[in-house]
Structure 1
Amino acid sequence: MASSADLAGRTAIAMVAGETSGDLLAGRLLSGLRPQLPDALMHGIGGPNMAQHGFVSDFPMEKLSVRGLFEVLAHYREIKGIQIALRDQLLAERPAVFIGVDAPDFNLGLEAQLKSAGIPTMHFIGPSIWAWRGGRIKKIARAVSHMLVIFPFEEELYRQAGIPATYVGHPLAQVIPMEPDQAAARVALDLPVHAPVVALLPGSRMSELKYNAVAFVAAAKLLLQRDSSLQFVAPMAGEAQHRYFNELIAQAGLQDVQIKVIDGQSHRALAAADAVMVASGTASLEVALFKKPMVIAYKMMRASWYVLRHMGYQPWIGLPNILAQEFLVPELLQDAATPQALADALWQQLQDGAHRDRLQRRFTEMHHTLLRDTAGESARAVLELIAQSPRRA
């Protein structure tokens, strides 16, 4: 492990991304940073998008991909062990900067310890203090030297709390085209060109799938009873997810030609779709950037839901609705996310042409607002933080 964090030698950049969406976002940051530091050692915890830029993962990213209060508790000892091992490794190495990408429950505690030891810390994607758990702001101030934020209103919120922050736009706004080519996506996925297509995105983690996918498949079956010409496409994040979803399709008495399960290619599936059923999270913002009507749904362990439902102080949980500050699209959560309710809401999204046109306009405006040179601006912020550090003596 490299011991020098001097830019004149081999710089060490440490990073942690805890799930698929974080790996994608971190990959964008590294695409701007790697050309500036071609010989730097970049390591920590990450996935395949980060690896494309020479990042080395010291621990499997999948170990951190657990959501829900009680679900995390079940894996607490293993996750805590990874955090301690990485902390000790980084305290010995003393990298030029540590960048935590999302995963606040893991990263903020680690960042606080590194910062107190004099290692500059950056957090990419601010915890949603504007949505819930606002008390986190004091913890963030102790842990983070500089915030990189992806929504325009966040920059001032953090600065008011005394935390330096830079709005860098949302990386997905650069990745996703302003005008997706639906016909080309359908040809690439071997989907019918003229039939109505619905994309199913019940979540990338197995823990999410086990709570959301049953209702998604049952809703698809109800929709097929209304219109047998409907074609469903379901992108899965991994082999285990693919296998599990296929089992649900078979149990529902459906055929794989009615619900086409594909490996990855979620963006291509969204481009191909007329409407989307999606689990709450970053994926709902991706749907908005593809300008598609959607129904946002989410289920979790009942005990986790009981706690979390009292922590929010906004009426929305879906990112498109939060950014719009209104219920642009339906949200069906926990017990409300029944197959019948999901089917009814999705059917309305398919049938209401005026609503689709309004969403197209609003989502296009949202896309322009979030569009920045994220890779370049975030890389500049990282280099400035390194340059400002007194440790470079």
Structure 2
Amino acid sequence: MVAGETSGDLLAGRLLSGLRPALPDAYIHGIGGKHMAQHGFVSDWPMEKLAVRGLFEVLAHYREIKGIQNALRDRLLAERPAVFIGVDAPDFNLGLEAQLKDAGIPTVHFIGPSIWAWRGARIKKIARAVSHMLVVFPFEEEIYRQAGIPATYVGHPMAEVIPLVPDVAAARASLGLDGSAPVVAILPGSRMSELKYNSAAFISAARLLLQREPGLRIVVPMAGEKQREYFRQLLLDAGLQDVPLIITEGQSQVAIAAADAVLVASGTATLEVALFKKPMVIAYKMMRASWHVMRHMGYQPWIGLPNILAREFLVPELLQDAATPQALAEALWTQLDDAGHRAVLQQRFTDMHHSLLRNTARESAQAVLDLIARSARGPA
């Protein structure tokens, strides 16, 4: 198995919670994180090696990432595992999966690349690389089946883990927050590249909000100690070290549950915020050269998962040059201050939550076990 970042580790951990009881003695290894390790997974390389986003950012790390991919490929071709499971990270996993599938090793890809949003031509590469797709949005199953790729809709794991009615009081208590003070959670991303480009604008927006509402509490969860220290250095470099923040290590879902509104970097975390039924502003900044290339590649007007699933701008999206501290602060204030809008979002996000509920661990594990069984039998 290979997961390339924190969100993939969470998803893979959920799959393993269903798979491990059926395969108690299996040796499961590759690249992953702490949630996978809870189920006996062994990571051959640190997952952080793959956690790079953006065209030019990836190029800077290409030699090292390609070396890891080649080394893992050679090991897997020699040991011939019963199955390889790539979890998201399509630029790394699909190339590896294609080589393994050509060698007769069954491949599963969990979390379909967003071919319905951009780079739709990748479906041909997916067909060459993947024996079976596990998809987390209801509309995806038919897209892959029409392309001749076996697919199973397994629901989204986060829809099971996140309660339909979050316990706001408990979340605030665990963070030591006054139950009556307004709370904003800020999630600038889990990758170092995301922290590099998002942090200054996000925290500058927090400073502006605090000028407007001094009693506001700002919670900023970091994915780990390395990210936390890098974030602190970025604040120091930007002259923002005086902004009063509650910086946690982990606890992103606790921070979201505690919040009245959330400023969140585009990605899987936007869906987490929606499942917690929270008003949000979605924002993203990246290397300028990457932005100039990627902004013309999308098929849809939305980039945030809640907006894509709703097929409308339920919540604001502020990208690159539009993501100024002033614009972010103003958009966040509206999310905090408009009670009618908050009520509408709560209902829409509740409906979205129900649509994504399945027993993901059981259904994804069963699809993997069925593929292993079919492969063991060989061609009919």
TM-score, length basis structure 2: 0.97
Alpha carbons 1:208, 1:300 under 8 Å: kept? yes
Q: In the aligned structure 2, how far is the partner of 1:195 from the partner of 1:108?
A: 47
Aligned position for 1:205? 191
302, 305, 310: which one aligns with 2:288: 302
Residue 169 of structure 1 aligns with which residue?
155
Q: Which residue matches 2:332?
A: 346
Please state how far the C-alpha of 1:241 moved relative to its aligned partner. 2.0
- For 2:322 and 2:297, the matched residues in 1 are separated by 19
Question: What amino acid sits opposite 2:232 in the alignment?
Answer: N
CA distance in 1, matches of 2:212, 2:34: 40
Q: Does the alignment pair 1:292 with 2:268? A: no
Deviation sequence 1:95-137 (CA, Å, 0-9, x none): 0000000000000000000001100000000000000000000
- How far apart, in 1, do the equivalents of 2:235 and 2:216 lie? 15
Q: Does residue 150 in structure 1 map to residue 136 in structure 2?
A: yes
Q: CA deviation at 1:239?
A: 1.6
Q: Is the 8 A contact 1:201 1:279 kept in 2?
A: yes
Q: For each residue in 1:328-352, what CA deviation from the matched residue of structure 2 results, as whole angstroms up to 9, or x when unmatched?
A: 0000000000000000000000011
Alignment of 1:238-317 (within 5 A): 238-249=224-235, 252=239, 255=242, 258-317=244-303
Report the Cα offset of residue 248 of structure 1. Answer: 4.7
* Residues 1:181 and 2:167 aligned together: yes
Q: Are the aligned partners of 1:218 and 1:252 in contact in 2 as well (CA < 8 Å)?
A: no
- 2:112 counterpart SS class: coil
Match of 2:351 in 1: 365
Q: Tell me, what secondary structure is at the counterpart of 2:28? A: strand
Q: Aligned partners of 1:367, 1:215: CA distance in 2, in Å?
A: 30
**Alignment gaps of 5+ in structure 1:** 1-14
The CA distance in 2 between the partners of 1:336 and 1:305, in whole Å, is: 12
Please tell me whether the aligned partners of residues 168 and 257 of structure 2 are also in contact (alpha carbons under 8 angstroms).
Answer: yes
Cα deviations by residue, 1:215-256 (Å, 9 ceiling, x for unpaired): 011000111111111110000112232123334555545646
Q: How does 1:27-42 map to 2 (within 5 A)?
A: 27-42=13-28
Is 1:18–1:102's contact at 8 Å kept on the other side of the alignment? yes
Distance in 1 of aligned mates of 2:242 and 2:49:
33
1:227 to 213, 216, 237: 213
**Is 2:72 the partner of 1:86?**
yes
1:154 maps to a residue whose letter is E
The answer on whether the counterparts of 2:203 and 2:240 sit within 8 Å (CA) in structure 1 is no
How far the C-alpha of 1:163 sits from its partner, in A, is 0.4
Report the Cα distance in structure 2 between the residues aligned to 1:335 and 1:350, rounded to whole angstroms: 23
SS of the aligned residue for 1:44 comes to: strand
Structure 1 residues 307 and 391, CA gap change in structure 2 (3 angstroms) = farther
Structure 1 residues 190 and 90 mapped into 2: Cα distance closer, same or farther (>3 Å)?
A: same
Query: Quick one: which of 55, 63, 68 aligns to 2:54?
Result: 68
CA–CA separation in structure 1 for the residues paired with 2:148 and 2:333: 47
Work out whether residues 19 and 65 of structure 1, in 8 Å CA contact, stay in contact via their aligned partners in 2. Answer: yes
Residue 319 (1) aligns with residue 300 (2): no
Percent identical = 78
**Equivalent residue letter for 2:253:** H
Distance 2:362 2:83 in 1: 17
Corresponding residue SS for 2:2: strand
SS in 2 for 1:315: coil
- 2:204/2:240 contact within 8 Å kept: no
Distance 1:242 1:191, change over 3 A: same
* Counterpart code for 1:38: P
Q: Counterpart in 2 of 1:384?
A: 370
SS at match of 1:344: helix
Aligned-pair Cα RMSD in Å: 1.2
Unpaired runs of at least 5, structure 2: none
Counterpart contact for 1:217–1:252, Cα < 8 Å: no
Distance 1:327 1:169 in 2: 23
2:40 maps to 54
What's the secondary structure of 1:41's corresponding residue?
coil
Query: 1:206: how far off?
Result: 1.2
1:102 matched to 2:88: yes
CA distance in 1, matches of 2:240, 2:155: 44
Q: Deviations over 1:186-205 (max 9, x none)?
A: 11100111010000000011
Which amino acid in the other structure matches residue 284 of structure 1? T
Q: How many residues align structurally?
A: 378
Q: In structure 2, what is the Cα distance between the partners aligned to 1:40 and 1:17?
A: 18
Letter in structure 2 aligned against 1:296: I
